[in-house]
A and B are shown apart, each in its own frame.
Chain A
């Protein structure tokens, strides 16, 4: 089961430039929370702070409190361990081109020293089924490289790879921005199902997407969280003028 996310006064910087200001929000367990906002508003930085990917950028740092279930992200646990519990799907599909489909999915487990082949087979199959890719690739699991798939398939492969390590939270950073509408539809459908098992935070610049997949939506502007509410409320009666301007297309 997924666990909830609590963020308290999260600040982030790139060098001397502050990218996030005092973000405080909750993302409830087993729901999808969408993060929207114009480009450059810090929404990507925000999700990258949740699993401490942000600090892998040179000179970047973050401070504040992030709680994922029982786990205190910025306190006491190593980044490596945090990332193992939190799956992440990136903007551009990034399967490992030198690995087969099977090895791509198993990569996270193998890294963690998991070599029980029978169990691996099961987990790979289950993960690919969860990401709705199984039927398309089951005959060429070990023959085809991850890079030989189509863009949409690659992204679903990346989702399977993230799911294989059995995370509690799945972070998605504009997972459909590089995909065609049909693949996007498939991924959205998938997100809808995955909510039952995981807590999902999805960054998107596509407001329709947010309204289709997420129960909650947060609006970011210039590094600040302007408001976070039920998706329906955000898109119909936002309480902040700036949110209204954005969703009605007055800027961004």
Chain B
């Protein structure tokens, strides 16, 4: 060693200090423990849902409407149907707008306006769902004069739009430009190219986005509290109050009756199964690659 090398020579040869090795092991341990601590509630939630819910799911639960307090039996059939109804309304409104906005951002949105819309969509994504409920109340319930399935649908549609917009944009941007140019080269007009070539290539990715949006709003309760409101009976009218699975779970959970608690668990189990199936399907599709023919 030359004389300049004095400061650290001895110290470079020394073994790594116990402290540093200890910190390294401790950090690994702490990270692993946090994973366990996070998975614990997940397991507990799913475990309890199955444990408490499975016994109460039967034919009556799936086909009957709620019985009055004190009577045993009854089910959530109208609530399940109501949720489907509200989601249908929400998708009729939200999916076309969301996909359209996504197309705009991907195909025409490389400008200032596009940036503003993109940013706004991200901001809209973070707006609390209860606030969306107030707004749907203001624009639908107040003008109609009563709670309705439509109001619930509008609230959920507002929540679906930003998710669908951003995933559609992302998926369309994954389509290589060469594909578009090939179509233009054949003399296909721009709108046809976008719809029949670009959007079609990205179909499964766009569906993924829609499913994600579904999964996100399917269990929403807060925005339905004063829009769809809930209903003890069947309803297929768009301008009438409608039951929803999530609302029913909420009502039953905070009630003082054991029978209703039991049903709340059963309803929650059905809701979570639907959501997990949707999310897993998305995962599966996403794992296979978002684009047709692209890997």
A residues bordering B, Cβ < 8 Å?
1, 78, 80-81, 84-85, 109, 112-114, 116, 119, 122-123, 126, 165-166, 197
Contact = CB atoms under 8 A, between A and B. Distances in A.
B7 A123 contact: yes
Contacts of A84: 12
Q: Most chain-A CB neighbours within 10 Å: which of B1, B8, B17?
A: B8
Given A1-B2, A123-B7, A126-B4, A166 B20 contact: no
Contact of B8 (A1, A80, A81, A109): A109
A197 B17 CA distance: 27
A85 B1 CA distance: 13
A126 B4 CA distance: 9
Given A1-B1, A1-B2, A126-B4, A81 B11 contact: no
B20 A113 contact: yes
B118 to A, nearest CB: 26
B9 interface: yes
Nearest to B2: A1
Nearest to A122: B7
25 contacts: A1-B1, A1-B2, A78-B16, A80-B16, A81-B15, A85-B12, A109-B8, A112-B8, A112-B12, A113-B17, A113-B19, A113-B20, A114-B7, A114-B8, A114-B11, A116-B7, A119-B7, A123-B8, A126-B4, A165-B8, A166-B5, A166-B7, A166-B8, A166-B9, A197-B4
What size tier do the contact residues of chain B reach? 10 to 19
Contacts of A85: 12
Interface string B71-109: 000000000000000000000000000000000000000
B54 to A, nearest CB: 41
Contacts of B2: 1, 197
A165 B12 contact: yes
A197 B1 CA distance: 9
B127 to A, nearest CB: 33
B16 A81 contact: yes
Contacts of A78: 16
Interface string B6-49: 01110110011101100000000000000000000000000000
A3 to B, nearest CB: 10
A166 B19 contact: no
Contacts of B9: 166
Nearest to A119: B7
Given A1-B1, A126-B4, A197-B2, A112 B15 contact: no
Contacts of B17: 113
Given A85-B12, A112-B12, A166-B9, 6 more contacts: A80-B16, A84-B12, A112-B8, A113-B17, A166-B7, A197-B2
Q: Most chain-A CB neighbours within 10 Å: which of B5, B9, B17?
A: B5
Q: Most chain-A CB neighbours within 10 Å: which of B5, B12, B15, B19?
A: B12
- Going nearest first, the 7 A-B pairs with the smallest beta carbon separation are A166-B5, A119-B7, A166-B8, A123-B7, A84-B12, A80-B16, A1-B2
